[in-house]
Chain A
Amino acid sequence: MTAALWNRLDVWARRLIPAGLSVVFVLVTVVPFALPGYAAIVPMLVLASVFFWAIHHPGLLPPAAVFAIGLVQDILTGALVGSGAVVLLLVYGVIVSQRIFFRNKSFLVVWWGFMVVALGAGALNWLFASAFAGQLILPRAAAFQVLVTVAIYPLLTWILHGVHRLLPQEA
């Protein structure tokens, strides 16, 4: 009986991993790290996380969770509240509808897909920020951020795949 209870608790804890890890990524994103120029190009970790779980386990990262994580990120980074959340939701929607395509594809294909997604997300972020600022923001920093994000994706995938193995298979 208790064994069954523990088992169930364990499964529940593991079910929280995708959302929990995304929240951890939000925190990592905003940690004040005093490397010169680091802050301006800090990679879009949460984007990578949402991309990954949308392919592998969308059931454990429902739209509401994506939205909430996006809102928290917007608030902690001081971005326009809602902008990051909308971008994450759109990415999530697109990837969930295309996830059959990404399943069991070679890593290079997935990486290429992520590059397209990161470019799109970067462009949307830039568009929202510019539209609400009422002027065109120099896109250089945003472009650099996309590059860094794409470059770091293999490392993130490695971490995410490691975590993925911890998930309950029946979920």
Chain B
Amino acid sequence: MEFRRPGLIARLASPLRGMGQRFVLASLVIVGFGFMLLGNSGAVFVERMQTAVADVATPILETIAHPVAAVDRGIANIREFFALRSENARLRQQVVRLRAWQGTAHKLAVENSAFRGMLGYKGPARHSFITARVIADGRGPFVKSVLVNAGVREGAAKGQAVIASGSLVGRVTVAGARSARVLILTDLNSRIPVIVEESRTRAILVGDNSSRPALRYLPESAVVKPGQRIVTSGHGGILPPGLPVGRVLASKGGGFRVQPFVNLNRLEYLQIVAFAPVRAPKVAAGKTGGGPR
């Protein structure tokens, strides 16, 4: 009987409280819309709020991520156990194939270094990597991005490429002090300048939230064949050139799509590529013209 009383009081008091609540609610909805507009136009204030909240949540999410990853790995182990036989057969075949490749690669490496020696070629600077763990997964129906537990403190910065097992995953869009948001290359907003490795044909890899991003803005004369490798071009100077991205697939509606090399369903550890964009060497004014600043 006791518990009916608050209900009655609440009901009597509700018209008064209702007015105030409704006002608060309406104001907050307006503030929410304000955030949306500001955030969409890339306001610093919203980005600060994002990094602040993400940084605070990072230690909590790290703590949760550990046991969850352990359980995940356990399940994966069980699944793999049942697939051992077929997996083993497949791997044997692969080893045979790769042995042949190993020989070729070794020969090419020797040849290549000899040629480089002759030309006095200086290769691209080696990048350093920051390894980070995925601590929050935002791969909902509308966005494909993850939060990792490395930020500015570890050397991460906005725009850097993110890879897993050597292949491109996406890039850093927001970097907090100890966390960073990685936009996956399948996201609607992802645009990555790439080239077809064989033909050096330029294109842009356009994400559309499907698991296979589209290859767009190919030159009209371009000949692209399914199965060809796609790598980053480095154009725009944000991503390092030559990072493997995926393989070309013919898409049903015409045009081409790319099957990423990385299994984007299973992202646990990622590497952020600390890449310093190449800048044209400074030359005394008037000596040579042109070149980007």
Contact = CB atoms under 8 A, between A and B. Distances in A.
Interface of A: 27, 30-37, 39-42, 59, 62-64, 66-67, 70-72, 75-83, 85-86, 89-90, 92-93, 96, 100, 125-126, 128-129, 132-133, 135, 137-138, 141-142, 144-145, 169-171
Interface size class of B (residues with CB under 8 A): 35 or more
Interface stretch (B21-29, B221-229, B231-239, B246-254): B21-29
Contacts of B265: 34-37, 39
Contacts of B255: none
A58 B61 CA distance: 28
A169 B2 contact: yes
B218 interface: no
A39 B39 CA distance: 24
A70 B53 CA distance: 12
A127 B141 CA distance: 12
B141 A40 contact: yes
B64 A129 contact: no
Given A27-B60, A70-B32, A78 B143 contact: yes
B277 to A, nearest CB: 25
B181 interface: yes
Contacts of A31: 61, 64-65, 68, 136-137
B273 interface: no
A142 B209 CA distance: 12
Interface of B: 2-3, 6, 10-11, 21-22, 24-25, 28-29, 31-36, 39-40, 46, 49-50, 53-54, 57, 60-61, 64-65, 68-69, 72, 76, 134-143, 145-147, 181, 183, 188-189, 208-210, 265-268
A54 to B, nearest CB: 11
Contacts of A132: 36, 40
B268 A67 contact: no
Contacts of A141: 140-142, 209
Contacts of A40: 139-141
Contact of B39 (A80, A90, A171): A80
B36 A137 contact: no
B6 A169 contact: yes
A27 B54 CA distance: 12
Contacts of B65: 31-32
Contact of A30 (B3, B49, B138): B138
Given A83-B36, A96-B21, A132-B40, A33 B141 contact: no
B36 A80 contact: yes
A138 B138 contact: no
B143 A27 contact: no
Contacts of B54: 75-76
Given A63-B21, A82-B31, 8 more contacts: A32-B137, A33-B137, A78-B183, A81-B39, A83-B32, A90-B29, A142-B141, A145-B141
A137 B21 contact: no
A77 B57 contact: no
